[in-house]
């Protein structure tokens, strides 16, 4: 792909989105790092550069040493609670409201897409809005409790059996939420354009979700700072900050949809 100025690439991406019958966004940690949430795999600051994920964030570690998990996750939870949606999140919400994308499939657990106003969001790695007792399996809303945990670090327990409450996020060695993943894959399969933003596509199954649709001829736009294994298949490839690119893309699309001048 020839090197083009970012503005020209945004024009090309906008043209593809306007031609699309159904587009979907697939997002990863890179859309939330500008909001102050650390990612897991970046070379310099990723959490897995400092922690062994199997020791702190696996299902086995949670069951046998839950204190270690809660000690590790507490600052991450605090950062998510204090974070606010950034312009990249709100841009996707604007595009969905305008009917230019049909929804968001995300690897993130931070709830920022919902808080930005997106309506159709499939969180394939779970979320922090609910927690489940590992003994009696009662499900709890974390509203009001998660803030207390972030502040004082007290491990949350079930009111019925005193079992430990596990946040509804997917740990290593744990099955992904089948219905959510199936619905996310269906949305991607039905789309003729996929907008990948803020994901280096290193974690399956999210990384492989676009492939079937691409093999059937779907178009592909990638906005990400780092290379991905699908770069060579992208119709438009923008190696730039999502916070810079997505607002410009949304502005251009909404202006064109309203019949504004180019």
Neighbour-count burial of 139, counting CB atoms closer than 10 A to its CB (0-12 exposed, 13-18 middle, 19+ buried): exposed
With a CB cutoff of 8 Å and minimum separation 6, the contacts of 39 are 29, 30, 32, 33, 45, 46, 47
- What averages of pLDDT result for each successive group of 10 residues across the chain (262 residues)? 75 97 97 86 50 77 90 90 97 97 97 98 96 95 89 91 94 92 97 97 91 97 96 97 97 85 45
Q: Give the rounded distance of the alpha carbon of 208 from its chain centre.
A: 15
pTM for the complete prediction? 0.91
125 is a catalytic site residue: yes
What would be the CATH architecture of the domain defined by 1-37+85-125+176-262? 3-Layer(aba) Sandwich (3.40)
Contact 249, 10 (CB under 8 A): yes
pLDDT of residue 128: 94
pLDDT of residue 177: 93
Q: Where are the domains of the chain?
A: 1-37+85-125+176-262, 41-82+128-169
Contact 17, 193 (CB under 8 A): yes
pLDDT of residue 163: 94
Catalytic residue among 89, 113, 125, 127: 125
Superfamily for the 41-82+128-169 domain: SIR2/SIRT2 'Small Domain' (3.30.1600.10)
What distances in angstroms separate CA 111 from CA 18, 83, 134, 162, 178, one per listed residue?
A: 28, 10, 23, 27, 19
pLDDT of residue 70: 92
H or E, element range at 115: helix 112-116
């Amino acid at each position: 792909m020839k090197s083009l100025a970012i503005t020209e690439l945004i024009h090309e991406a906008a043209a593809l989105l306007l031609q699309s019958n159904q587009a979907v966004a697939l997002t990863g940690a890179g859309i939330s790092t500008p909001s102050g949430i650390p990612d897991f795999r970046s070379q310099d600051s990723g959490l897995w550069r400092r922690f062994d994920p199997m020791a702190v964030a696996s299902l086995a570690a949670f069951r046998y040493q839950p204190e270690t998990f809660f000690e590790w996750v507490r600052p991450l939870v605090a950062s998510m609670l204090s974070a606010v949606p950034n312009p990249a999140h709100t841009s996707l919400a604007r595009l969905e409201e305008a009917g230019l994308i049909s929804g968001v499939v995300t690897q993130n657990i931070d709830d920022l897409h919902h808080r930005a106003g997106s309506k159709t969001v499939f969180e394939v790695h779970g979320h922090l809005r609910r927690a489940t007792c590992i003994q009696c399996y009662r499900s709890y809303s974390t509203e009001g409790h998660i803030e207390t945990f972030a502040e004082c670090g007290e491990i949350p327990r079930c009111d019925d059996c005193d079992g430990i409450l596990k946040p509804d996020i997917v740990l290593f060695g744990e099955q992904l939420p089948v219905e959510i993943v199936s619905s996310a894959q269906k949305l991607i399969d039905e789309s003729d354009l996929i907008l990948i933003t803020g994901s280096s596509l290193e974690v399956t199954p999210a990384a492989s979700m676009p492939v079937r649709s691409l093999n059937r001829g779907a178009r592909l736009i990638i906005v990400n700072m780092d290379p991905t294994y699908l770069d060579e298949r992208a119709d438009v490839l923008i190696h730039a900050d999502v916070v810079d690119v997505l607002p410009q893309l949304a502005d251009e699309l909404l202006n064109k949809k309203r019949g504004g001048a180019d």
